[in-house]
Chain A
Amino acid sequence: MERIPILKMGDFLLVTIQVDLYDQLAENLESDLINTINKHNSKGVLIDISAVSIIDSFMGRILGNIAVMSKIMDAQTVVVGMQPAVAITLVELGLSLNGVISALNVEKGMDLLRAKMYNGDKEEQTYDDSNQ
């Protein structure tokens, strides 16, 4: 079965989605990620979607699920690199990805994860996807 690789980098997990997502693939990623967080006791997950050309309601929901589930497992999720057209389309579709923290690129996403880890999770930071 096709799977998206999950890389371990210290306390963080790095996922770069380089293929077109379909429902089963997204569902596999969701369960694989949660299992990997558990296995490595990871504190953060960075998901790079810069190569993803479309996100529909199902995949958007999976991203939201991953963020919520990892939070319950004491890990932060940051989604980085969303293409502008994807952000606009998601909002028009009616999906605001509430609860998903995003950053412009991998570097900024890593900074955000580190900051969240060392400063504790004092406040909820939610960035508006449409501003990217």
Chain B
Amino acid sequence: MTTATNKEELFIVKEQDVVPLRNRVKEYGVKIGMSILNQTKLITATSELVRNLLKYGGGGRVIIESVTNGRDLGVRVIFIDKGPGIKDINLAMQDGYSTGKSLGLGLPGTKRLVNEFDIQTELGNGTTVTIIKWKNG
């Protein structure tokens, strides 16, 4: 059971919003004493997902939370867009697949960087991606 203790929401509409978001996520990591490596992984994952949110979802909102499962502390980041959704989620999770001009590392690469990764998408209704990085994960 994962419970949130602290939470905030940011709206992401343009590319420059990415830098303050990364800083906020970092602050959440620092607050629970996350190592530099885990912070870097979490922020890099955030950077990848927020690019998707801007590029494919046309912007959206991001919720940052401090979470605990009773044993460990962590940071949960939720990316919510109201874009077109993802047609074939299995394909999108494959290394090297991209509908855009990118390398196609975004989703599968991000999943490798975090401890928990969940993606919900509905055609025409948008996509929600939730990641958790545990302090000792």
Q: List residues of A whose CB falls within 8 A of some B CB.
A: 20, 22-24, 53-58, 61, 83-86, 88-89, 92-95
* Closest Cβ neighbor of A95 among chain B residues: B105
Q: Given A20-B19, A54-B43, A85-B40, A94–B109 Cβ distance below 8 Å? A: yes
Instruction: Report Cα–Cα, A59/B112, bound state, in Å.
Output: 18
Beta-carbon contact of B113 and A93 below 8 Å: yes
> Hey, which chain A residues are within 8 Å of B113, CB to CB?
89, 92-93
What are 26 contact pairs spanning A and B, CB under 8 A? A22-B15, A22-B16, A22-B18, A22-B19, A23-B15, A24-B15, A54-B40, A54-B43, A54-B44, A56-B51, A57-B109, A61-B103, A85-B36, A85-B37, A89-B44, A92-B113, A93-B110, A93-B113, A94-B95, A94-B105, A94-B108, A94-B109, A94-B112, A95-B103, A95-B105, A95-B109
* Closest Cβ neighbor of A24 among chain B residues: B15
Picked from B23, B26, B37, B47, the residue with its CB within 8 Å of the CB of A56 is B47
Beta-carbon contact of B37 and A57 below 8 Å: no
Closest Cβ of chain A to B43, distance in Å, is 5
Q: List residues of B whose CB falls within 8 A of some A CB.
A: 15-16, 18-19, 22-23, 26, 36-37, 39-41, 43-44, 47-48, 51, 95, 102-103, 105-106, 108-110, 112-113
* Closest Cβ neighbor of B26 among chain A residues: A53
Number of A-B contacts (CB under 8 A): 69
Instruction: Report Cα–Cα, A94/B96, bound state, in Å.
Output: 9
Closest Cβ of chain A to B58, distance in Å, is 16
Closest Cβ of chain A to B118, distance in Å, is 19
Beta-carbon contact of A55 and B19 below 8 Å: no
Beta-carbon contact of A57 and B40 below 8 Å: no
* Closest Cβ neighbor of A53 among chain B residues: B40
* Closest Cβ neighbor of A57 among chain B residues: B105
